[in-house]
Amino acid sequence: MNDPKPTPKPRSRNRGNRYQRAQERRIAQKKADQRFYNGIFGIISACVLVVLGLAMIASSGNVPQIGGGEAISQNTFLGLTLLEIGGLVIVAIIGFVMWRRITKR
């Protein structure tokens, strides 16, 4: 009976909270995007390092002959070797994942 009347909360305070939540969502999305791009570029960097290492070994002239290596260097499809086809598949997968990530928004 003698309860004091609750005072209504000012609207500006609620709007400030909504703004803060929106800002936090934007920051979280940017962090998630940055983690994704760091992962993708890490994979790409590792692939480039492997290719450069193989090129360095191949250009040194001291390439050990390993049995079965002829299948990798033979032209199999449209004049491409299995190694080149594998590289194209990796690039296509990374491109597809990035396309899905960008269009998902």
pLDDT tens per residue, range 44-90: 888 888 878 877 777 776 656 665 555 556 666 677 777 778 888 88
Q: How many H helices and E strands in the chain?
A: 3, 0
Q: Model confidence over 77-104: pLDDT tens digits? A: 677 777 778 888 888 888 898 888 888 7
Pick the most confident of 2-16, 22-36, 83-97. 22-36
44 contacts 94 by C-beta, under 8 angstroms: yes
**Backbone φ, ψ for residue 80 (5° rounding):** -100, 145
Q: How confident is the model at residue 25 (pLDDT cuts 50, 70, 90)?
A: very high
Tell me the pTM. 0.52
How many residues are given for the chain?
105
